[in-house]
Amino acid sequence: MAVVPVTRSWLMPAGRFAPTPSGDLHLGNLRTALAAWLFARSSNSAFYLRIDDLVPDSDRPGVASRQLDDLRTLGLDWDGAAFHQRDNVLAYHDAIDQLIENGLTYRCYCTRREIQEAASAPQGLAPQGAYPGTCRELSASDCANLEQSGRQPALRLRANSELVSVVDRLCGVVEVSVDDMVLRRNDGVPAYNLAVIVDDAMQSVEEVVRGDDLLASTPRQVYLARLLGLAEPIFAHVPLALAQDGTRLAKRNGAVTLSDRMALGESPNQVLGHLAASLHLAEPGESASPKTLLERFDPATLPSDPWIVDLQSLRLT
């Protein structure tokens, strides 16, 4: 069964926020959610919530509910019920089957260690971090022998290192040589890069707003969308929130979740004000509401540098 290309005629153009339920949302996650909500609502688009719970060990009990509660507490609304990736697995396998039928896949038996060693070898010609193509030309008997020895294959895309460019609204042009990415892990779970483009096409997501840690993987996703005949969204990657030592903001840095900030006596509008100030939509220390921020929102004024979070004063540094 092939994936049917999405024409967007059956759903309103939309934006989305798609957290992984591995932990409570911190200020950086909430900031990205606010930016995604502002992009969608300012263009009169629908706004969807998707829970990226495809990988079993990323789904911790109760976390998704707390994430949704935090967004509601800040006043960010969405259309319809939250969508769960785990409920869309058949669509991902349909997309993979389409690529298999078109001769665009091969089985890969490499371990992570073997891939790292092959990619770092002096004769390696693959771009840094890319899969070097070790299993590309395995015969059927080679595959059978490897499986008899106990190795379970992942499924990779035969990508031919095509150079793909994407114009991002906030970051400009990003160009990547697409490698033979994993489509299905060796435990049978579809890979994120494939799942996310199937989800976005099915929900008619027209604009993807997310953290810029995912910028480098965007050409891969666009390449897959083209192979599957799916509509390509517009992208806007927001700079990350960082701790003062330059590392990504995390729970270990202190009071970084909404519940943490409220336990310190801050109201939801004060927390929203911190996020808004980091996006140049409010003054430091100013309380804010979603309605006010929507009236002020201008994508052209958004910062291009990371938000360095000073938890003592929550002012930009």
pLDDT per residue as tens digits for the range 193-250: 999 999 999 999 999 999 999 999 999 999 999 999 999 999 999 999 999 889 999 8
Reading phi first (left if > 0) and then psi (alpha if -120 to 50, else beta), residue 213 is in alpha
CATH number of the CATH domain containing 201: 3.40.50.620
Domain assignment of residue 225, yes or no: yes
Mean of per-residue pLDDT scores for the chain: 90
Torsion angles phi and psi, residue 205, rounded to 5 = -75, 120
Residue 262 scores a pLDDT above 90: yes
The residue range of the domain holding 280 is 23-90+193-308
Question: Do 207 and 236 contact (CB within 8 A), yes or no?
Answer: yes
pLDDT per residue as tens digits for the range 83-95: 999 999 999 999 9
Domain count, the chain: 1
pLDDT of residue 5: 36
Domain assignment of residue 169, yes or no: no
Q: Which residue has the higher pLDDT, 13 or 303?
A: 303
Tell me how far apart the alpha carbons of residues 230 and 8 are, in angstroms, rounded to a whole number: 10
Domain assignment of residue 163, yes or no: no
Domain assignment of residue 122, yes or no: no
3 state DSSP class of 283: coil
pLDDT per residue as tens digits for the range 2-57: 333 333 334 567 999 999 999 999 999 999 999 999 999 999 999 999 999 998 77
pLDDT of residue 10: 41
Question: Do 162 and 178 contact (CB within 8 A), yes or no?
Answer: yes
pLDDT of residue 315: 53
Domain assignment of residue 60, yes or no: yes
Domain assignment of residue 55, yes or no: yes
